[in-house]
């Protein structure tokens, strides 16, 4: 489980970078709806999310490594169940 957390953390940046480039290219021909927007990318929001991620990532990694593997698996499974329930609710409510 610790290896999965580390792998996820290592691959998160290249995946996010590729998605960011895709959103900029995908919306490049659109007129700028908001000042500070490039394609579908809104720079003020990018700065807020990026700074929060960089600030909190070490805390998350430290917490994950301090937890027992069974505890970490239970917490991750609980998070997945909550996300699945939310997605089911949104899908049925639409």
Output the tens digit of pLDDT for each of the chain's 94 residues: 778 777 887 898 899 899 999 998 988 888 767 888 888 888 999 999 989 989 998 898 888 889 898 998 899 899 999 999 999 999 999 8
pLDDT for position 32: 66
Let me know if residue 13 belongs to a domain.
yes
Residue with tokens 């069974």: 70
pLDDT for position 7: 84
Q: Which has the closest alpha carbon to 30: 19, 46, 41, 14?
A: 41
State the residue range of the domain holding 18: 2-67
State the angle between helix axes of 2-26 and 43-66 in degrees (0 to 180), rounded to the nearest 10. Answer: 170
pLDDT for position 29: 84
Let me know if residue 85 belongs to a domain.
no
Pair of tokens at residue 31: 């007129």
3-state SS class at 7:
helix
- Name the phi and psi angles at 36, rounded to 5: 90, 5
> How many domains does the chain fold into?
1
Instruction: Give the end-to-end CA distance of the chain in Å, rounded to a whole number.
Output: 35
């Amino acid at each position: 489980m610790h290896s999965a957390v580390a792998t996820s953390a290592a691959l998160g940046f290249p995946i996010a970078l590729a998605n960011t480039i895709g959103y900029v290219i995908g919306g490049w021909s659109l007129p700028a709806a908001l000042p500070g927007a490039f394609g579908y990318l809104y720079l003020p929001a990018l700065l807020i999310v990026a700074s929060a991620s960089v600030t909190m990532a070490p805390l998350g990694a430290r917490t994950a490594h301090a937890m027992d593997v069974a505890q970490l698996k239970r917490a991750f499974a609980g998070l997945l169940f909550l996300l699945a329930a939310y997605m089911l609710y949104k899908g049925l409510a639409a």
